[in-house]
Structure 1
Amino acid sequence: MSNQPYEGYDPYQQQPPRQQGQGWYDPNTGAAYPQQPQPHPQQPYQQQPYPQQPYAQQPYAQQWDGQAYAGAQPLPPEASPHESHGYATPGAEGLAHPSATSGGGGIGTTTPEAPAVDLSRLPANQRARLEGRSPIIEPGLQPAALTAVLGALLAGGAALGSYALVVPLVILQAVTAAGWFRLNGMWPARQGIALAFLGAVVSDVALLAAGRDNGPAVILGTLGVWLLLTLVLQLRSHADPDTRMYGLMATVVSAALAIMATGHLAAPHTAVTVGALAVAAAVLVRALPLPTVLSVVVALAAAGGAGFGLGRATSLGTSGVYLGLAAGVCALIGHRVASYDYPSRFVHFTAGVALPLTAAAPVVWVLGRALV
């Protein structure tokens, strides 16, 4: 071991205290050592200068669900997120998007991304649903042609008599009942459709038995009875209250529309012929690829023209134009209702076909009795 004492160590406490800036004395050798200058003078911590280097910010791109944050700088196309930090991960190019990992910020089990969907090949209602829109999708030319055919059958049946008119009328009421339930998103709803259709058939039979003069009493009486019957059936349902109320409203409206179509049977036959053909003309023109406002104006003009021409050919005379215009307005309202909120192809070929003729039934009944 070395006999040299440690610097500043005085075992007998005989060495005077060393002052700042002085040397030190070794009692064993009698040598005095001057104070060596310190290469790094000690300064208080708060006074020591801290060199701050400018931070070289790396370009980065933060994304979440495909949307870039504001202020983010995209990476160059040849660089990956791993290479921007100075290292590369083998197989990093095969990893999925960070939002697809199972962990919060680490690398977990990745899930394959869904294949891109070609929106141009989807039907209009599915494309609108994926885009988050709630558009009005019109039925189109094929349902309009079916409406025209059914209107022609009603006009021909009215020209032949009440019993011939019942056949296309029953078809109209069945399509109305089924189409209204599907338009409200309720399918299958066999009990509701059957109940509404049964009410329409009862109304037709009662009207044939009581005569056209008792049409208001028959139609309103059937509506009242079917409303009570629907309430009783819904009270016995074991569904939750919201579903029960929704089913009640759909059944009541479907039955009311189907029974209201009996107005074609209660109206004068001449009015039925003019009104049905006016509806057919309005719906066909409305289905043409024209701007909406222009299409509505031209459709009403076509309905009025059909009413005027058929009125001149029948006992209505020039007053047939009013019946044609009124029937055309109701037809466009029914057409608009059948275009509501993501309708499917089945809706277009049921509600889109029947609602224009069904909505025109009260007008044909009231104006027909007033004008004929």
Structure 2
Amino acid sequence: MTDQPYEGQQQYQQGYDPYWQQPQHQSQPQPQHQQQSWPGQQQGYEDPQAAQQYTQQWQGQTWETQAQAPVAPAADTSYAPQQAYAEPPAPVATPPQAPVTSGYGPASIGGNARITDAQRARLEGRSPVIEPGMQPAALTALLGLLLAGTAAVGSYALLVPLVALQAVTAAGWFRLNGMWPARQGIALAFLGALVADVALLASDHAPSAILGTLGVWVLLSLVLQLRSHADADTRMYGLMATVASAALAIIASGYLAAAADAVTVGAASVAVAVLARALPLPTPASVVVSLLAAAGAGIAVGGMTDLGSEGALLGAGAGMCALIGHRVASYDYPSRFVHFTAGVALPLAAAAPTVYVLGRALG
């Protein structure tokens, strides 16, 4: 047995060189006797090519094993060292941005939300009050003239434009308060108005019919909100909106309870006052012009009825209430839908109690 180690074993001890190739001049035959074995070898190879093939295969496995990244001990990776967190930097004041001057911003998933004209006005430091404009005023005037004309015909004829007024009042108030859709509240308020109309047609005592219906509908609104599963603040807000909407729709029934001449003068005065308010004038001047126009319409229409010149007082009172309703419909977050519902109905609905009270006082 020779004392020289086997060629593959010698390469194992010296390490593997990936660029080493076996010399081409090796031509001496390998010894025929059994060679010394190493761990993992069961028996020697007497064929030199077989031994070379085995050695190269074993070296290839050794090179792949050495190429792997070393694995850190478990003790070194069990716990990460605690890091110290620096305090957050102080907030830096941002320079004021230029006021927004485009229309609605494009909707996107990235969060570019649409802003209303009222929100833009608040960002710019202006008043969020946006008046409905001439088109809603024209619709108010048309509905007012319908009330004035049908009142001279009879109560049942007056009922047609009055029901339309009550429906628009109920829907517009909910939308003005940002509660949309609110089908149950709108339906409840409109139903209360219809019940008040029926009670007025069946009873000779108008205050009892209106106040009784209003009291019952407050209780129904309370029961409706108690059945809601929303939080307490949302239920309270819904209760107030429902009660106010029902009250406005029911109070509009005062046109049905008032004298026919008073309805004619009052509704015509509201129509003229709203049209004058929509003129492009400064707000103080517009208010004065509207009141004067309402009083003038009261005198003109009163001369065609039994009220005569006393219609000026009725016209001025109805016009003042109409301006209050117009102002309410212009506040906070109005939209085009609000302007064509609350902006149309609230001036006429707000004037109904004045028409009833002044009509009885002057008649």
- Relative to the length of structure 2, the TM-score reads 0.69
Partner of 1:345: 336
User: Which stretches of structure 1, 4 residues or more, deviate above 4 A after TM superposition?
Assistant: none
Quote the residue 2:163 is aligned against: 170
Residue 119 (1) aligns with residue 98 (2): no
The separation in 2 between residues aligned to 1:185 and 1:352, in whole angstroms, is: 15
Query: In structure 1, how many angstroms separate the alpha carbons of the residues matched to 2:100 and 2:130?
Result: 20
Match of 1:268 in 2: 259
The separation in 2 between residues aligned to 1:124 and 1:231, in whole angstroms, is: 34
Measure the CA separation in 1 of the matches of 2:180 and 2:121.
Answer: 21
Partner Cα distance (1:188, 1:296) in 2:
34
Please list every run of 5 or more consecutive structure 2 residues that lacks an aligned counterpart in the other structure: 1-91, 105-115
Partners of 2:239 and 2:127 lie apart in 1 by 25
**Distance in 2 (alpha carbons) for counterparts of 1:142 and 1:230:** 33
1:153 to 146, 150, 154: 146
The aligned counterpart of 2:268 is 277
Bigger proportion of residues as helix: 2
Q: Which amino acid aligns with 2:335?
A: S
Cα offsets for 1:42-73 (capped at 9, x unmatched): xxxxxxxxxxxxxxxxxxxxx853469xxxxx
Deviations 1:88-127 (A, max 9, x none): xxxxxxxxxxxxxxxxxxxxxxxxxxxx996244573353
In structure 2, the residue matched to 1:208 is 201
Q: Which residue in 2 is equivalent to 1:29?
A: none
- Counterpart of 2:274 in 1: which secondary structure? helix
C-alpha deviation, 1:131, in angstroms: 3.5
Residues 297-327 of structure 1, C-alpha deviations (whole Å, 9 max, x = no match): 0000000000011111110011100000000
* Matches for 1:311-322 after TM superposition, within 5 Å: 311-322=302-313
| Identity over aligned pairs, percent | 75
Amino acid at match of 1:308: I
CA shift in 2, pair 1:266/1:67, >3 Å: closer
- Residue ranges of structure 1 left out of the alignment (5+ in a row): 1-62, 69-115
1:354 to 345, 354, 363: 345
Amino acid in structure 1 at the alignment position of 2:156: Y
On the 8 A contact 1:129/1:342 being kept in 2, the answer is: no
TM-score, normalised relative to structure 1:
0.67
Counterpart code for 1:125: A
CA RMSD of aligned residues (A): 2.0
Question: Shift in Å at residue 289 of structure 1?
Answer: 0.3
Please say if residues 190 and 249 of structure 2, whose CA atoms lie closer than 8 Å, have aligned partners that are also in contact.
Answer: yes
Select which of 108, 130, 137 maps to 2:130. Answer: 137
Letter in 1 for 2:345: A
**Structure 1 residues 117 and 371, CA gap change in structure 2 (3 angstroms):** closer
Could you tell me how far 1:371 is from its partner in structure 2? Answer: 1.2
For residue 333 of structure 1, what is the aligned residue in structure 2?
324
SS of the aligned residue for 1:313 comes to coil
Structure 1 contact 128–342 (Cα < 8 Å) conserved: no
Q: Which residue of 168, 176, 183 maps to 1:183?
A: 176
Mapped to 2, the partners of 1:132 and 1:191 lie a distance apart of 37
* 1:270 Cα offset (Å): 0.7
Q: In structure 1, what is the Cα distance between the partners aligned to 2:126 and 2:161?
A: 37
1:200-228 Cα shifts (integer Å, max 9, x gaps): 00100111122xx3111100000011011
User: Which amino acid counterpart does residue 368 of structure 1 have in structure 2?
Assistant: G
Give the drift of 1:132. 6.1
Which string of whole-angstrom CA distances, capped at 9 and with x for unpartnered residues, describes residues 220-246 of structure 1? 000011011111111121110000000
Q: What is the distance in 1 between the residues matched to 2:162 and 2:333? A: 28
Q: 229, 235, 239: which one pairs with 1:238?
A: 229
